[in-house]
Amino acid sequence: MNPGGLVAITGADGFAGRVASAHFRVTGRKFRGLVRALSADTVARPDMMPVGDLTSIPDDALANALQDVQTVVHLAGRAHVMKETAADPGATFRAINVAATERLARAAAAAGVAHFVFASSVKVNGESTPQAGAFRESDPPDPRDDYAVSKWDAECALADVARETGMPVTVLRLPLLYGPWAKGNVARLTETISRGVPLPLGSIDNRRSLLGAGNFVSALDALLDRPVPAPRTVATYFVADATPVSTPELVRAIAAALGVLPRLIPIPASFLRLACSLAGKADAGHRLTDSLVVDTEAFRAAFGWRPPRAMAEELADMVRAQGHMASAPL
């Protein structure tokens, strides 16, 4: 099967989708960006197709969106929510991340799509690793919240689709993704550092795997440039930057990209976790202080891949883009 076949990207107007679309446009890879609705940024883009909500799109419209597609890269989904508003979060995560994913995959197989790539999460394996440890693909899943459970259930549903239809599936379990157009925790942390707010993170001694946008699209290229996997194949990989960093190291790196001095106050990690717990934000305290590292050797060996970009490069791009995220080109 030709590695240069048409790629459909779901969630093409989200953070990861914007990064992939912009990259494919520059490199000349043929792609079709599937978005819920056209916006001011996408309306003039002939490679963007509005498809509505993937949970309710009519079957014929979904089939049309997948026409002539060789590979689906499924990036759309409901991400981890900091301030939950859904009446039943578990059901909402399941409808979007599991049911819609399975429906899309079965429609893709029926349309003759040769390969389905799914962006999952390191959280499928758990929330933390020992200081000197790292998650590997052979480790048992241990999802701890509704988001992680929905990602694991989606992986299981896709394995059923692969077995029943023959369409191979590749799962990429990703850590925190950062780079131009990043939102959420990364954007908030960058804004906080830029305003010179003191951060009580100076005594944290942890290691966290992260994934820069440039390394993410490089990994996609490595995957898409290889022949399509054998029928019924289900492969799972971790992808991350070359070197994990501590929380203070990340703060210093963002500050360097911003051209400001980091204001790190040395507060014991145990006290910080206690303070977060008393404030009803125990999960945030653990994300700041715990280690979460993945072993990417399986992906590197399978695809001959090495992360091409250093964190400093990615953060410099992120800072340059931050002031005009809303109008950045898709």
The residues that are catalytic are 147
- State the virtual CA torsion across 326, 29, 111, 52 in degrees, nearest 10: 10
d(CA 187, CA 266): 23
Q: Estimate the crossing angle of helix 146-165 against helix 100-110, to 10 degrees.
A: 20
Q: Which of 161, 117, 129 is nearest to 16 (CA)?
A: 117
d(CA 160, CA 105): 10
Secondary structure element (H or E) that encloses residue 49, with its range: strand 48-50
d(CA 325, CA 183): 9
Q: Do residues 246 and 289 make contact, with C-beta atoms less than 8 angstroms apart?
A: no
CA terminus-to-terminus distance, the chain: 28
Q: Do residues 285 and 125 make contact, with C-beta atoms less than 8 angstroms apart?
A: no
Task: Tell me the HSE value of 206 on the side-chain side, using a 13 A CA sphere.
Answer: 26
| Amino acid symbol at 38 | L
Q: Estimate the crossing angle of helix 282-289 against helix 269-278, to 10 degrees.
A: 160
Q: Which of 243, 263, 253 is nearest to 318 (CA)?
A: 253
